[in-house]
């Protein structure tokens, strides 16, 4: 299901069963990410599928990428794999107005 930025943020914050899933590349994630997001790069192909198979299908997944296209594709793949609740962030991270985290430097 596609959600606007505000609806996605509000719903994710209120959902005790929420998992935030970032499907961008590690290079994109280095520019910042939504706090508590789990990163699984959709460009990893079969590796992406394997990583999804490790996730708890009973959770609610709030999925985002840079602009919203890859995350929409990820939601479709997840639905085919049996995930019932996936929510795509319309406009992606480039339109995100919420909090942003950065990876700790070594």
Q: For the whole model, what pTM was predicted?
A: 0.95
Quick one: what percent of the chain has pLDDT higher than 70?
97
**Domain of residue 32, residue span:** 2-95
Domain assignment of residue 106, yes or no: no
- CATH number of the domain to which 28 belongs: 3.40.250.10
Domain assignment of residue 91, yes or no: yes
Number of domains in the chain: 1
Q: What pLDDT is stored for residue 40 in this prediction? A: 98
Q: What pLDDT is stored for residue 103 in this prediction? A: 79
Domain assignment of residue 102, yes or no: no
pLDDT band at 104 (very low <50, low <70, confident <90, very high): low
pLDDT band at 17 (very low <50, low <70, confident <90, very high): very high
Is pLDDT of 37 > 60? yes
- Round to whole Å and give the CA distance between 3 and 91: 9
C-alpha distances out from residue 34 to 45, 53, 63, 81, 96, Å: 23, 22, 11, 25, 9
Is pLDDT of 106 > 70? no
DSSP state of 1: -
Domain assignment of residue 16, yes or no: yes
């Amino acid at each position: 299901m596609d959600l606007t930025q505000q609806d996605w943020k509000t719903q994710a914050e209120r959902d005790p069963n929420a998992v935030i899933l970032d499907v961008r590349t590690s290079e994109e994630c280095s520019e910042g990410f939504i706090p508590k997001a789990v990163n699984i790069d959709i460009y990893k192909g079969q590796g992406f599928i394997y990583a999804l198979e490790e996730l708890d299908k009973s959770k609610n997944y709030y999925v985002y990428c840079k602009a919203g296209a890859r995350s929409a594709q990820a939601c479709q793949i997840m639905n085919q794999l049996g995930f019932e609740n996936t929510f795509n962030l319309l406009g992606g991270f480039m339109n995100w107005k919420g909090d942003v985290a950065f990876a700790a430097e070594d």
